[in-house]
Amino acid sequence: MIALVLVNDWDQCLHFPLTKWKPKMMKRISLALFVLASMVLPITMPTALAQQVKPACTDNSRACLVKTANLYLDGLAHHDASKIPFAPDVRCTEQDNVPAANEVEFRKSINDSGVIQGIRSLRLMADPETQSVSAFYFLDIGAVGKEHAYTVMRGQRFKIVHGLVKEVEVYNYVNPKLTGLAKPFWP
């Protein structure tokens, strides 16, 4: 952490022998420190602003994997990433693209996903050996402007390590002939 202290009367700084320094030199040093801090802080800010959530469980059991995946899916459905236990270096790919480069961007994209109306027909498969969960579900998207409501058929893989979501991989399919919300393939 960097702290800058501005003092008007340098003679009051008894713990530093600065009385021999000229005020012009001190202004230059203060300016240099300010410039250095303004260059360093923006680089470290995204990590500092990340909202680290304590995992609900830390073992790699099937129950823990499913619980963590459900926290993610619930956060997605309700546009609230505040309870999703992401790892700080979480990686997300969607249709082989990277929609969010870090935890802060990932949380923001979930919180801003207001067009999502809900998740239906969820099926989860957890594998404790690979610490992975596969999810298949219907993601209902609401109508926006002239675009009608539609359903996304989504396949998703999670890598969950000690209760933290480390990787998310998403594949979507939208039937172009289907208008409106789809009926589920399974009960």
pLDDT confidence of residue 56: 85
Secondary structure element (H or E) that encloses residue 169, with its range: strand 164-173
In a domain, 180, yes or no: no
Count of the separate structural domains present in the chain: 2
Task: Report DSSP state, residue 163.
Answer: T
Distance between CA 152 and CA 46 in Å, rounded?
Answer: 31
In a domain, 96, yes or no: yes
Distance between CA 153 and CA 173 in Å, rounded?
Answer: 5
Instruction: Kindly state whether residues 137 and 81 are assigned to the same domain.
Output: yes
Distance between CA 69 and CA 62 in Å, rounded?
Answer: 11
In a domain, 54, yes or no: no
Helices (H), the chain: 23-49, 62-77, 103-111
State the residue range of the domain holding 26: 10-49
pLDDT confidence of residue 36: 52
Instruction: Kindly state whether residues 92 and 29 are assigned to the same domain.
Output: no
Instruction: Kindly state whether residues 123 and 40 are assigned to the same domain.
Output: no
Distance between CA 106 and CA 92 in Å, rounded?
Answer: 8
Instruction: Kindly state whether residues 108 and 24 are assigned to the same domain.
Output: no
pLDDT confidence of residue 175: 78
The neighbour count for residue 160, using CB atoms within 10 Å, is 29
Local confidence pLDDT in tens for the 187 residues of the chain: 334 344 444 444 444 444 555 555 555 555 555 555 555 544 444 443 455 788 889 898 999 999 999 999 999 999 999 999 999 999 998 888 888 878 898 899 899 988 899 999 999 999 999 999 999 999 998 887 777 788 899 999 999 999 999 999 999 998 776 666 666 555 5
In a domain, 44, yes or no: yes
Q: Which residues contact 39 (CB under 8 A, 6 or more apart)?
A: none
**What does the block give as tokens for 44?**
């470290």
In a domain, 111, yes or no: yes
Instruction: Kindly state whether residues 41 and 113 are assigned to the same domain.
Output: no
